[in-house]
Every structure is written in C-alpha cells, then in structure tokens.
Amino acid sequence: MPSNLALGKEQLLSRRQLLKLGLGSTGVVGAAALWQMANHSQSIVKVPPTEIAASEGVTQPMKMLRNFDYGTLKHENGRNIREFRLTAGTSVIQLNSAVSYNIWDLNGHIPGPTLRVKQGERVRILFLNKAGHSHSLHFHGVHSADMDGIRPVSNGSATIYEFDAEPYGVHLYHCHIEPVTRHIAKGLYGMFIIDPPKPRPPADEIVLVMAGYDVNDDSHNEYYAFNGLPHHYMDNPIRIYKDQLIRLYVLNIIEYDPAVTFHLHANFFNVYRSGMTMTPSEKTDVITMGVAERHILEFSFRYPGKYMFHPHQDAIAENGCMGVFEVINS
C-alpha cells in the first residue's frame, strides 16, 4: 500500500489489496501508549481496579468502560494518520439465561470499539464486511460526500474511509444501509471521540453506550443495556473514587424509542453538549437524548456508597438499562 494513498471516494478493494493491507485477519492493532500519555490526562489519574471476567465475550461491559482504541499511528506527508481496522461479522449474544440473540458485530463485539483521535489528525478506516449482508460505516463529523459511508459494501468486500478529524466532540459511527434503524439495532454502531487540541483536565474517563434489543422483530425493544449487556452494572457496580472527577462519555443509540433520559442519583453533573465545548452548558441530574445524541457529563461524588444511574423511563431501566456507581475511598 503506497504511503501517500489518497482516496477520492469509497473504493472497493480487490482480494490482493486486502491481503496487502493485512485484512485477511480481524482485530485492531494495539493502542499507541506514548501518544496516549502525551495527549490524554487519563494516564495520570488513579482509577480503581476493574475486575474483568474471563467470560466477557461478544459483549465486554467491564473492559469497555475505560477502553479506547487509538488505532495505529502513521506519519505520511508530514501528517499524523490514525488507521483503524473494523470488520463486521455475525455473533450470538446471551441477553440473560433464557434469551440469546443474533447480532452483527464489529471486531467481534457489540458495541463496536470506542475509536479515539485528536482534532486535526487524518483518520483512515479500513472496513471489511464479513457479516453476510451489505453494510457500511457512516461517521458523524465533517467530511466530503464521498466519505459519508452511505454506499453499500457487499459481503466479502472492503472499503476505506478517510477524512480529517473535526470537529472535536463525542461522535459516533454506524451502518447506514436501509433499514438503518434495523442495521443499527442489530449491532453496527460505536462511539467516535475526537479530542480537543488542548486536552481536557485529568479525570477518570468512562464510556457508556445505551442501546436496545428488539429480539422478536416487532420494532419495539424488549431489552436495553449499557455497553451491551442488560443489567450488568447492577450486579457488577462501576467502582470510582470519592472526590475524583469522573468524565462520562454517554451515547444514546437506542432505536425504536424516540428519546430517553439519563439520570444520576444523589448528584448533579456538568453537561458538555455533544462534547463540543470546553465549558459546561448546564448543570442538572437528568438529561434527555434523542437517538444518536451524546454528551460529556462530569461529576464527582462527595460520599462513599452505591448510587444508581438509569433512564427515568421505568420500562427502559427495568429491562436492562440500569447500573450502579460504587464510590470508594482512594
């Protein structure tokens, strides 16, 4: 692959080109730790140990909390390029002891990886579709029409999306093949964070992606989840330190429900709308999000203990979109 590759449009690749790109196998190349230390405050913040069960499989609720995919850093023509590899596939997830559900996954997981870049970097997405149906990846952000990710990529094919990372904020990516609602609800979505040029203050940074599952194809969700698995953070509270600044990256990708709220118990949070501001727009304890809306929410807890978080719609919370922060002394 030439180092100065510049694509003018979504381009289907031959099998030979795929092999040259190393897309014969799935999996994302590891994070660039040095870049993370230089650009992200998180590495100097004390974070409670998180027990990640060996059984975490297609859903990875504990691992996903603080896991960011920085891709592979390349330098081409004096620019930083962040290269990511995303492969769509098929999986079966176990929503509870009685209910399993066929989904489309990205790199073997649902939700897809949380991609993270810095504003101004070049982003290159190598997308391989092995999910048995035409799909695409549409990124929220500013880019050319050719890179908008609405053209179908047929099963067994690949394409490259390439654009500049702008503007900074909490964004998302998802499949854009009709019916889009169905393709998203079946698993083809993830968070896409563009960091601002000047890093945000040090904080314990946590990702929460809210999604629903319509397991009987009636265009209504029977189950809901934070980070893939219903009720997981009720049984496995998210440990955070008392008086530590917590920075939540929250995305609502619950299809079939027009809007949901996010409510935090016994506290208030600062809202950075779409993550696109450096100063908060409001302070509240409940915020409403339509489908694909997302925000940065910041708070710290003054008292140790267990505190729930959930949408303020009972039917959504009680069917899986509910969790607990366990505040501990550092």
> Which CB atom, from 85 or from 183, has the smaller least distance to Cu ion?
183
Give the span between the Cα atoms of 127 and 190, in whole angstroms: 14
Piece in contact with Cu ion (CB under 5 A), picked from 28-36, 122-130, 144-152, 168-176: 168-176
Between vectors from CA 83 to CA 78 and to CA 84, what angle results, nearest 5°?
Answer: 165
Q: Which is nearer to Cu ion, 96 or 154 (CB)?
A: 154
Give the Cβ contact number of residue 140 at 10 Å: 17
> Which residue lies nearer to Cu ion by CB, 143 or 183?
183
Minimum CB separation of residue 89 from Cu ion in Å reads 12
CA-CA distance, 114 to 65, in Å (whole number)? 10
At 268, phi and psi to the nearest 5?
A: -130, 155
Binder among 116, 183, 200, 294 for Cu ion (CB under 5 A)? 183
Task: Give the interface segment with Cu ion, choosing from 54-62, 183-191, 277-285, 309-317 (CB under 5 A).
Answer: 183-191
Beta carbon of residue 135, minimum distance to Cu ion (angstroms, whole number): 3
Cβ atoms of 42 and 53 closer than 8 Å:
no
Pick 109 or 183: Cβ nearer Cu ion: 183
- Please tell me whether residue 175 binds Cu ion under the rule CB under 5 A: yes
Residue type, 88: A
Q: Which stretch binds Cu ion (CB under 5 A): 172-180, 255-263, 310-318, 320-328?
A: 172-180
Chain CA centroid to CA 283, Å: 24
Task: Give yes or no for a contact between 106 and 88, defined as CB atoms under 8 angstroms apart.
Answer: yes
Structure tokens belonging to residue 321: 């979109």
Q: Does 250 bind Cu ion (CB under 5 A)?
A: no
- What does the alpha-carbon distance between residue 279 and residue 235 come to, in Å, rounded to a whole number? 34
* CA–CA separation, 157 and 14 (whole Å): 8
Residue 177 in contact with Cu ion, rule: CB under 5 A: yes
First to last CA, the chain: 49
For residue 174, state whether it binds Cu ion (rule: CB under 5 A): no
CB count within 10 Å of CB 66 equals: 15
- In the complex, minimum distance from the CB of residue 173 to Cu ion, in angstroms, rounded to a whole number: 12
Q: Which stretch binds Cu ion (CB under 5 A): 142-150, 188-196, 207-215, 267-275?
A: 188-196
**Contact between 294 and Cu ion per CB under 5 A:** no
Residue 144: both structure tokens together: 């050319």
Q: Which of 124, 209, 117, 127 is nearest to 166 (CA)?
A: 117
Task: Decide: residue 197, CB within 10 A, 0-12 exposed, 13-18 middle, 19+ buried.
Answer: exposed
Taking the complex as a whole, the smallest distance from the CB of residue 181 to Cu ion amounts, in Å, to 11
Give whichever of 185 and 191 is closer to Cu ion, judged by the CB atom.
185
Subset of 112-151 contacting Cu ion (CB under 5 A): 135
Nearest distance from C-beta of residue 136 to Cu ion, angstroms: 7
Residues that bind Cu ion (rule: CB under 5 A) add up to a total of: 5
Nearest CB to Cu ion, comparing residues 161 and 168: 161
| d(C-alpha 158, C-alpha 126), whole Å | 7
Stretch that binds Cu ion, among 52-60, 89-97, 179-187, 204-212 (CB under 5 A): 179-187
CB of 105 to Cu ion, least distance (A): 12
In the complex, minimum distance from the CB of residue 8 to Cu ion, in angstroms, rounded to a whole number: 24
Residues that bind Cu ion (CB under 5 A): 135, 175, 177, 183, 188
